[in-house]
A and B are shown apart, each in its own frame.
Chain A
């Protein structure tokens, strides 16, 4: 007998149950869709923490554009988190650099990064599903998403992490056959 996991309280329920026996939330939507492939099932089961989010490079909002660009090049990173008194207030990525700085870099290098960052970025929690992360990246066109743990900045995942995960899942599925 297969079971379904309640997304609200994580209690196990019998397949086909209309509402969670533990918390009473509706499970009817979940019963309809059964993953057709194991890669798909993995995406629905695995959480963001499975991607091993990296420690993000963080700067304060008054760090200059020039300092941030240098940090990104020297550390070979695609984005930095802008953190003000422990709170994530923005993200500055290669894409922001290309769209907002570009060849104006010499003129803008002493400006604070807070003027050019993407404020209030979309975030994920470590226990969100990887499928949900994929959805956010697709809809928003993002390449990096900050990861929070209990509301605090804990890491960052990139679209490459998802690609790597996927390549591993595909290889694992092929070898099982």
Chain B
């Protein structure tokens, strides 16, 4: 399928969203940092009941590591709230535009009731591209500079 057409017709679900990982605003910064590490992921969604109220990313964790914020503080202190989100009905093209314009690396995917359905990470977009352009991305010639300048032997 034509790439441009795919971007404007395929839903955000095609760009490998991560399962949402949730915590509450009362959880401590330290707990959320360890959750990020244990799950090897870049963001935790902060929810009240089933509703999304904030997001904490690696960037926020860095502030706690540098000593700007205590790890015993509640994540309420460091979360981005309300977070930028993308509707589950949006297309991959919408997501690329939104991430690029806002500089977001993680976009929670929400339904019409603001319930989180997943998280779109920038790596998912890259994965999507590689799927669409496998020949372009994988058939890269070897580095010309690494070639022997002269044939081996006499």
A contacts, CB < 8 Å to B: 7-9, 29-30, 33, 35-37, 39-40, 43-44, 66, 69-70, 72-73, 78, 94-95, 97-99, 101-103, 105-106, 109, 125, 128-129, 131-132, 134-135, 137-138, 141, 143, 159-160, 162-164, 166-167, 170-171, 173-174, 177
Contact = CB atoms under 8 A, between A and B. Distances in A.
Contacts of A30: 141
B135 interface: yes
B34 interface: yes
B126 A137 contact: yes
Given A102-B33, A134-B126, A134-B137, A160 B103 contact: yes
Contact of B62 (A69, A132, A143): A69
Given A73-B63, A102-B34, A177-B4, 13 more contacts: A7-B144, A39-B3, A40-B133, A43-B136, A72-B62, A98-B37, A103-B71, A137-B123, A138-B123, A143-B105, A159-B122, A167-B101, A174-B4
Interface of B: 2-4, 7, 30, 33-34, 36-37, 40, 42, 58-59, 61-68, 71, 93, 96-97, 99-101, 103, 105, 122-123, 125-127, 129-130, 132-133, 135-141, 143-145, 147
B2 A159 contact: no
A125 B64 CA distance: 34
18 contacts: A40-B133, A44-B136, A94-B58, A94-B61, A101-B65, A102-B65, A103-B33, A103-B64, A105-B71, A125-B143, A125-B145, A134-B129, A135-B130, A137-B126, A138-B126, A163-B122, A167-B100, A170-B97
Query: Which of B71, B123, B129 lies at the interface centre, i.e. has the most chain A CB atoms within 10 A of its CB?
Result: B129
Contacts of B144: 7-9
Contact of A162 (B3, B40, B126): B126
Nearest to B69: A73
B91 to A, nearest CB: 11
Nearest to A106: B67
A44 B137 CA distance: 8
Contacts of B63: 73
Contact of B125 (A95, A97, A163): A163
